[in-house]
Chains A and B, each alone.
Chain A
């Protein structure tokens, strides 16, 4: 039996989401932008899904822009905010050092500024203040400040309302974006992102399929009028994102989001116990195992360690031989030549960062999964230290 402990990479699609998609892939296949009966039926699915998703995210239906996933939502938030209406750049992008590459790469591409984090993986708010102050002092404008709600590698939860307050104070014109891709299963996204102007989500992190996500664009912040669309085309999503709707994906997104939010409290309690048993067991049975972050300020599902004296790619191989599927850091960095930028930003040296292991749990994780890891990991680490 296989033990899947990589929910932060992706999740299995929920049965209810599959059920919602099937009729749209078969009989109800219309293009929602059209005018005839089938088109109107498809449009109804998109409209209803938008309302249901808005309910789950605590926003207005008109504030939702459907995208092809979290990376597109993040790129739209950063690039769309910086590019500026009327051909003039709106200003600088600022983000934290532990952002997903979907934020970090566009920010760095656009010459933006990166704010430090502490050893616990949480943003250094004083450094954010310094960055915004020095930008204002040099006569520059900040277009967008982007800080993720929960980190994808170590699970560190970021204080978004404080980030928003500091931004309002020191860079009043800037949009506040948060990448909430990892958060919906584990945090009250609706309330924690209430102060953010832009919020990214991704369906496959909570039981919808890959290739669908959304960016919340708050009307009160006039964020919509400030954002330049990345994908220009047929005027869908009120001109904010061209391209025929992924109707089946959108239906699944709404169903999965509703279920996830409804079950969240119960799942957080259940998965926290699993994660704590897993992390306590690893810490107790493996010498030189450093648990990253602070459990009080990380999401319930993340169990993340750095091991002295081993390389994670070898550990993952041995875990796979024990039918355990896990990751070193983010799945995007598998086979990468450089250690995780998140761990580097948290102050881990190169050797420790190359010895990282992320075990991420989810809605279908069980005690069996935890037992399997606890049985396999000690001997695996020991073997690698002896022979690796």
Chain B
């Protein structure tokens, strides 16, 4: 990376600073590479929340880091957009029995849309964030999202919706670094965020009350009945809205722990079925609202179905529209809850399906596209 892009004018980059260590170091790296750097902290959420990125203390941390780096720092209030595109849909999804992924929606609508447009209007050439991911270019010049160098911190999953235009104006300065190296750099630079804990979970949900309290303040929660796989009632739950497919904990039922997976949720009837894990296994899964990095890709691929989940192997089969596909698993896999993001990665070392020459190993595990899990199309035992 270079701040000048071969010309004499240093390029202007707006770096989103959450007040955490990754974006602090991202800003520092950009400064050292010669960019004209301005930091911005987004105020997204005014309510309670303790793992988020916009508490007063986090804004102060970001501001102080910017001062230490001698760069300007601004605060943008995107609260109304955050409510409209992230929080309100999150609540509505839970109310309708889906399992939303608010971090993906925040990236899609706030960080890589609203902030991008703002950066453009304010005259910035580039936007940077502290995400652990890489932008790699194939021999034909196309850009791809690649996994971050630190496999345990990789965030390519929540960035899968980025398109060519966005990738061309985006920098992930810490994507090449391990988290330990990021912390070591922050420490060397004397940044106050060096030892700050990583953020966890959904930023607007308070760790004490959790989803139950958050949703209960906004929508009426409906009590649910828990039945076993034979249909016998084995317990009750305070609210159907917080139950997720595959869930094992917090169901308030006894019995054999191996037969306590949530295997079905009848949202209409407020009835949760529990049973053995094998009842969750399916041979294929429908995926909707797929954003492709380039054109649709079919054939063998690797699929990640949660932010830090393991990778499954299968093949993508064309659906009725380009943004709908069916993933057929090589081995039966646990059903993915409706609404969860499913992200397709190039098969490790595998051939490129759309004919692009591979550039060494750099394109292994790059994102081909991603969408959200839809209702099951085929299953075992049901």
A-to-B contact residues, CB < 8 Å: 311, 313-314, 317-318, 321, 334-338, 350, 354, 383-384, 386-388
Closest to A321 in B: B123
Closest to B54 in A: A337
| Contact partners of B74 in chain A: CB under 8 A | 313, 317
A335 to B80, CA, bound (A): 13
B93 → A minimal CB distance (Å): 23
- Contact indicator B122/A317 (Cβ below 8 Å): yes
Q: How many A-B residue pairs have CB under 8 A?
A: 37
Residue among B43, B46, B121 making CB contact with A383, cutoff 8 Å: B121
A384 to B119, CA, bound (A): 10
**Which of A335, A338, A383 is most buried by chain B, counting CB atoms within 10 A of its CB?**
A335
Q: Mark B110-148, 1 if CB is under 8 A from A, else 0.
A: 000000011011110000000000000000000000000
Closest to A310 in B: B121
12 pairs across A/B with beta carbons < 8 Å?
Answer: A314-B121, A314-B122, A317-B74, A318-B122, A318-B123, A321-B122, A335-B75, A337-B77, A337-B79, A354-B80, A388-B117, A388-B118
Residue among B46, B76, B79, B121 making CB contact with A387, cutoff 8 Å: B121
- Contact indicator A388/B43 (Cβ below 8 Å): no
Residue among A335, A336, A384 making CB contact with B121, cutoff 8 Å: A384
Closest to B75 in A: A335
Q: Is the interface of A mostly helix, strand, loop or mixed?
A: helix
B59 at the interface (CB under 8 A from A): yes
| Contact partners of B46 in chain A: CB under 8 A | 337-338
| Contact partners of A334 in chain B: CB under 8 A | 75
Closest to B47 in A: A337
Considering only residues 48-87 of chain B, those with a C-beta below 8 Å from chain A are 59, 74-77, 79-80
A384 to B75, CA, bound (A): 17
Given A335-B59, A337-B43, verify A313-B76 contact (CB < 8 Å): yes
- Contact indicator A335/B118 (Cβ below 8 Å): no
A350 to B77, CA, bound (A): 13
Closest to B77 in A: A337
| Contact partners of A321 in chain B: CB under 8 A | 122-123
A369 → B minimal CB distance (Å): 22
User: Other than the known A337-B43, A387-B121, what 18 A-B pairs have Cβ atoms closer than 8 Å?
Assistant: A311-B77, A313-B74, A313-B76, A314-B121, A314-B122, A317-B122, A318-B122, A318-B123, A321-B123, A334-B75, A335-B59, A336-B77, A337-B46, A337-B79, A354-B80, A383-B121, A386-B121, A387-B120
Considering only residues 73-113 of chain B, those with a C-beta below 8 Å from chain A are 74-77, 79-80
Residue among B77, B80, B117, B123 making CB contact with A313, cutoff 8 Å: B77
A311 to B121, CA, bound (A): 11
A386 to B43, CA, bound (A): 23
| Contact partners of A354 in chain B: CB under 8 A | 80
A34 → B minimal CB distance (Å): 39
| Contact partners of A317 in chain B: CB under 8 A | 74, 122
| Contact partners of A311 in chain B: CB under 8 A | 77
| Contact partners of A336 in chain B: CB under 8 A | 77
**Which of B43, B75, B121, B123 is most buried by chain A, counting CB atoms within 10 A of its CB?**
B121
B242 → A minimal CB distance (Å): 26
| Contact partners of B77 in chain A: CB under 8 A | 311, 313, 335-337
A208 → B minimal CB distance (Å): 28
| Contact partners of A335 in chain B: CB under 8 A | 43, 59, 75, 77
Given A314-B122, A321-B123, verify A387-B117 contact (CB < 8 Å): yes
Closest to B76 in A: A313
